[in-house]
Structure 1
Amino acid sequence: MGKEPRDPLKELLLSVEDGDAEITHLPEQGQTRLAIVLFTVLLFASGLTYFLLTLPAEVRVHRVVLTERLNESPYFKRPFGTNDLKCDWVMDGKHKEYVEKLAKNRYRIEDPDNFDDLPGDCASIRSRHRFPSSPTTPDEADFPVAIARNVFKDYYYMELMLAATYQPQNYYCYAIDKSADHLFRARIKALAKCFPNVMVAQEFREMDSAGHRMDLAHIDCLKMLTTPEKKWKYVMLLQNHDFPAKTNFEKVAIFKWLNGSNDIELNPEPGRVNKSLDWSLTKMKIFKDPKKLEKIMTAWKSTAPPKITFAKGYNEISISREAMDYMFNELDLTNLMNQVDDGKTYGIDEIVFPTLLSMDLLGIPGHYTQKCIDEDVSSGYITRHSNWGDRGTCSSGHFRHSICIYGIEDLATHIDPIPAIYVNKLMPDFDFNAVTCWLEVLYNRTFIEKPTLARLGREYYANLKHVRYQALKDEHGEVSEEKRKNFKCK
């Protein structure tokens, strides 16, 4: 049987994925074969180029090309193709015609399909952005945060978002979807090698738009993040295109105002869980220490055994370190996760964490209550903002799966004022000018302007339902039956 011909590009990608090699140029061997392939590709590309040039400007997508290292500068380093963009005009509210022109001719990008056009060595990555080597403020130094993000595409966008919120005291973990291409995987892994506080989950889960295995992917990251030497205070669970709306300084202030409560959106569970199955705490074996269940059973008054009572909320949440440690040290989620995520039900990623973090019975630090679900009152929530079908607050007029995709015309009016920490969505293949200008806003607020909380309303965050409920807890983290009964959900 003959030897399989070598594929230098494939070998390069696999070597980066395995952690055995740095990113380099293609080896000389095999270049003849590659030249033939490239010639064929160029013939096809000539026809494709003609097609692209005849497209209207607003739907043309550009590939990123960043081959030169940028000079050191204290100011924001503009991404590929945006050097002439006037972001101050976009944000000042005085140049409506300019913003309309940008909206009419949106600039769209996608990742290049080779390493040479977007070098992945650490020196190149660091030259493209500003990654501070020390905390920007004392408040941020004393309050590290972590991010666990499920990802599958748009590497350059990921790199930009990391730079936008990067602090050396924080921690960042990426869980890569199994469907992501090899080049994306290699780039994310190369990025993580450049920073001691950036990591990649070892397992690639088969995630999908129905939410299957999303929680498991987040848990892969959480296990890496929740080790004794990593001293973060809150962790955010995010998805691929969740975009920062606040600076890290503002984020820290908001988390302090949460006062130890976990930030979850909460609604009644809409029938996604098979209630005919046995969800009793005994069957789920939810507690690692049997004595905890015995204590609950001793005080239990109902004839029906205590069981998991379900809730629904967004997958994107913020969890305190105390809550995360408790869940890993005191709870065994194996049976619950396996029985909830059956591989068939839609939106299953919106069940487990909202359920666990709203059950008083489990005693998780910072938990909310399901009392408000019983009263059919939705909870407020500030981890991430999504616009579901409201055209009045979506100036771009563009929706994908009923969610607004924000454009350049939304930044000053709809992104800047929102109280949420992240926003869903700003996307590079829809409006990269919008992505760039908001990144410049965050950069200037972080490094150029004096840090301020003037844009935040502390009272708003203090009056969130889960924050008010947290204030009712005693020194044991419990709310008395009387206080729970009198708690106002509205």
Structure 2
Amino acid sequence: MLFLLSPSEFELDASYSLSYSWLEYTEADAGPAANCNCSAILQGDPEAISEARLLNITKDFHKSVHIPEEYYINVTQDCREFQVTRKYLMFPLSQEEEDFPLAYSIVVHQKVQDFERLLRAIYAPQNVYCVHVDKKADALVFAAIMSITSCFPNIFMVSQPVSVVYAAWPRVQADINCMTDLYNVSTTWKYFLNLCGQDFPLKTNLEVVRSLQSLKGANSMESEKMPDGKKWRMQSAFQIVDGNIMATGKAKDPPPFNLPILSGNAYFVACRGYVRSVLEDSRVKELIEWAKDTYSPDEFLWATIQRMPGVPGSKWPNVKYDLSDLNAIARLVKWQQHEGSEGSLEAVYPECHGNHVRSICVYGTGDLQWLIEQHHLFANKFDVDTDPVAIYCLEKYLRRKALLSIR
């Protein structure tokens, strides 16, 4: 049985003597961020959260916790030193996890420190990881991520990187290219999960495995009736001009096979059979070709495939099987327009304690108590430049929970 760690049990006790305690995150790993009371923060203590906020507004603090790209390039000259220094888990923590390997696609374009902390939090030697770095990314970012991935036999750079354009087809193509590589590199993984560099897990690998096992081969992703206000995205053709998506003024033909187009998002959890359908099913291939000149195809393609009869792990397209992002397990996002004060019946979730980027909450320490109570596997967005304490407290909490589960 999984050992469930509550925030109140977060601090070490006198009897704690795990042989794996050296893999715990300590003050030395976090620098000044370790001065915050993570246990109290995870319990929602207002004083501890206020102290963290005061720390976060000082430039010297952010400068002291920032890890430059050059660090990763230098330390990975000795891969063993990098693995040990950064405390990667280089062995499976349980037979259950070893027998249920996962496949990850991670799309990145900047912020190497965010990416590396995400990678460290989800790394397990039995899993496989494909990393897609945007072709437009800074050369130093590419070099740093290449150096990191080269230190692990089960992590690789995508074989066909693309130049990602917001709301355009290349964002989907990046994941498809990683899907292809992951499908070909290993026949043993059970589920595919796609992430971006500013995601972070809310669960340990064992908890992720058990959550996926409970799906019994089904997929989990947002898939709902398309709102009228979004139908324009697939009724007209679009093209990329000078790195931006632009309308052509031409009307599109209806989707192939009279498929009902469903609303969803770019991030999902899918069984191996679903990935096989994306790569091999002739119906899916026709849908993909049709979608290539639409606006924001990532927000309907996966959701539509999920409702196609015969696709492994899918659901029937009847409205009764619609699934919202809050009910799916893949990813938790706080949209600004759905936030509200505590007790508000109109609010979907509490107000953001960080800041907003494109109407999405970049989480702060005050969001952590709420986050760890949710059933989602991952949350977006986290950013060291916004709140390094939030990331440190969450990663420390998850690492200790993972180690305690093998006691």
TM-score scaled by structure 2?
0.78
Distance 1:320 1:391 in 2: 35
User: Contact conserved, 2:334 with 2:352, CA < 8 A, in 1?
Assistant: no
Give the structure 2 partner of residue 246 of structure 1: 203
Please give the per-residue CA displacement for 1:13-43, whole angstroms capped at 9, x wherever unaligned.
xxxxxxxxxxxxxxxxxxxxxxxxxxxxxxx
Alignment partners' CA distance in 1, 2:212 and 2:34 = 35
Q: How has the CA–CA distance of structure 1 residues 227 and 176 changed in structure 2, closer, same or farther, with 3 Å as cutoff?
A: same
The correspondence of residues 88-237 of structure 1 with structure 2, limited to 5 A, is 88-93=39-44, 95-106=45-56, 107-108=61-62, 110-112=66-68, 114-115=70-71, 119-121=75-77, 122-227=79-184, 229-237=186-194
Q: Deviations over 1:225-263 (max 9, x none)?
A: 102634111010122211111110100111011111111
Give the distance between the partners of 2:255 and 2:266, measured in 1 at CA.
24
Distance 1:378 1:249 in 2: 25
Aligned residue number for residue 79 of structure 1: 30
Indicate whether 1:423 and 2:379 are aligned: yes
Q: Which residue of 1 aligns with 2:252?
A: 277
Q: Secondary structure at the match of 1:79?
A: helix
Q: Which secondary structure does the structure 2 equivalent of 1:88 belong to?
A: helix
- 8 A Cα contact 2:118 2:199, kept in partner: no
Gaps of 5+ in 1: 1-71, 282-305, 453-490
Cα distance, 1:274 vs structure 2: 2.3
Where does residue 442 of structure 1 map in the other structure? 398
1:198-236 per-residue CA deviation (whole Å, 9 max, x = no partner) reads 011133312133243111000111111102634111010
CA-atom RMSD, angstroms? 2.6
Match of 1:213, SS state, is: helix
- Match of 2:315, SS state, is coil
Question: What is the number of residues matched between the two proteins?
Answer: 349
2:274 — aligned with what? 323
Contact 1:91/1:411, CA 8 A, preserved across alignment = yes
More strand by share: 2
The higher radius of gyration belongs to 1
The correspondence for 1:367, drawn from 289, 311, 314, is 314
Q: Percent identity?
A: 25
Structure 1 residue 163 displacement after superposition? 1.4
Instruction: Determine which of 301, 305, 312 is the counterpart of 1:356.
Output: 305
Please give the TM-score of this superposition, normalised by the length of structure 1: 0.66
Are 2:224 and 2:322, in contact at CA under 8 Å, matched by a contact in 1?
yes
Offset, 1:446: 0.6
* 135-144 or 323-332, which deviates more: 323-332
| Superposition pairs of residues 385-424 of structure 1, within 5 angstroms | 385-389=332-336, 390-392=339-341, 393-396=350-353, 398-412=355-369, 414-424=370-380
- Describe the shift of the 1:183–1:81 C-alpha distance in structure 2 as closer, same or farther (beyond 3 A): farther
Equivalent AA in structure 2 for residue 348 of structure 1: P
> Aligned partners of 1:366 and 1:148: how far apart in 2?
19
Aligned partner of residue 30 in structure 2, secondary structure: coil
Gaps of 5+ in 2: 1-20, 237-250, 342-349
Alpha-carbon distance between aligned partners in 2 of 1:329 and 1:116, rounded to the nearest angstrom: 38
Match of 2:264 among 313, 316, 325: 313
CA distance in 1, matches of 2:352, 2:274: 38
Deviates further, 254-263 or 73-82: 73-82
Structure number with the bigger relative contact order (C-alpha 8 A, sep ≥ 6) is: 2
What SS does the aligned partner of 1:214 have? helix
Note if contact 1:110-1:154 (Cα within 8 Å) is conserved in structure 2.
no
